[in-house]
C-alpha cells in the first residue's frame, strides 16, 4: 500500500514537471508577443496619446467657453457628453498601453535589460501609481465631466512619460529589425494557425 502511494506521488510529480516544462516553452513564445506588444504600446503612447497637442486639444477650455457663450443648455450638455466620451477613451487607452508595458517589465525586461533593482523598484511604484491615478481620473471624468480634474490629467501625462522613458531604455536591446522579425514571426504563426 505504501509502495502504491509512493508510485502515485512520483507519477504526480512527473506529470507536474511535464506540465511546468510545457508551460515554460509556451511562455517563451508568449515572451516574444509581450515584447512586441510593449513596443507597440510604447509607440502608441509616445506618438498618439501623450503629445501635448493631443491632450491639450481634448481638454481645451476654449471650446468649453465657446459653447457656454451660447447659453443653450442642450448644446452644453451635448458638448460635455461628447468630450467626456473622448476623455474616457483617452484615459482607457493610456491605461491599456501601460498594462502592456508592465507585462513586459514583469516578464521579459528582467531577462534582457540592464535596469538596476533600484530603478525597477521605482518603476514598479510608478506603474502602481499610474494605474491608480488612471482609475481615479476615469471615475472623476465619469462622475463630474471632462473638466473635472485637470491636475490629474497633468499627473497622468507626467508619470506616463517617465514610465515611457524608462521602458524605452529597457527596450534598447531591441532594434527595429528585431521587432520587425518578431512581428513577422507572429504574423507567420497566425497564418499557420
Minimal distance, residue 160 CB to other proteins, in Å: 14
Closest distance of CB 177 from other proteins, Å: 15
By the criterion CB under 8 A, which residues form the site for other proteins? 44, 48-49, 53-54, 57-58, 60, 62-63, 66-67, 69-72, 74-75, 78-79, 82-83, 85-86, 89-90, 93
Contact 49/90 with Cβ under 8 angstroms? yes
Identify which of residues 61 and 175 has a Cβ nearer to other proteins in the complex: 61
Which CB, 58 or 119, lies closer to other proteins? 58
Rounded to the nearest whole angstrom, what is the least distance from the CB of residue 45 to other proteins in the complex? 11
Nearer to other proteins among residue 58 and residue 182 (C-beta)? 58
- Output 90 or 104, the one with its CB closest to other proteins: 90
Residue 66 Cβ vs other proteins, minimum distance, rounded to whole Å: 5
Cell numbers found for residue 84: 467626456
Amino acid at each position: 500500500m505504501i509502495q502504491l502511494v509512493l508510485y502515485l506521488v512520483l507519477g504526480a510529480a512527473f506529470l507536474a514537471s511535464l506540465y511546468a516544462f510545457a508551460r515554460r516553452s509556451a511562455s517563451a513564445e508568449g515572451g516574444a508577443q509581450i515584447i512586441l506588444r510593449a513596443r507597440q504600446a510604447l509607440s502608441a503612447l509616445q506618438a498618439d496619446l501623450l503629445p501635448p497637442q493631443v491632450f491639450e486639444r481634448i481638454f481645451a477650455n476654449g471650446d468649453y467657453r465657446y459653447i457656454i457663450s451660447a447659453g443653450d443648455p442642450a448644446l452644453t450638455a451635448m458638448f460635455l457628453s461628447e468630450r467626456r466620451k473622448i476623455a474616457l477613451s483617452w484615459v482607457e487607452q493610456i491605461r491599456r498601453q501601460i498594462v502592456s508595458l508592465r507585462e513586459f517589465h514583469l516578464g521579459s525586461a528582467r531577462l534582457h535589460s540592464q535596469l538596476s533593482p533600484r530603478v525597477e523598484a521605482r518603476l514598479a511604484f510608478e506603474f502602481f501609481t499610474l494605474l491608480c491615478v488612471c482609475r481615479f481620473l476615469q471615475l472623476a471624468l465619469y462622475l463630474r465631466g471632462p473638466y473635472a480634474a485637470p491636475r490629474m490629467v497633468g499627473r497622468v501625462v507626467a508619470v506616463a512619460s517617465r514610465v515611457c522613458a524608462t521602458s524605452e531604455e529597457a527596450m534598447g536591446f531591441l532594434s527595429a529589425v528585431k521587432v520587425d522579425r518578431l512581428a513577422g514571426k507572429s504574423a507567420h504563426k497566425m497564418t499557420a494557425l
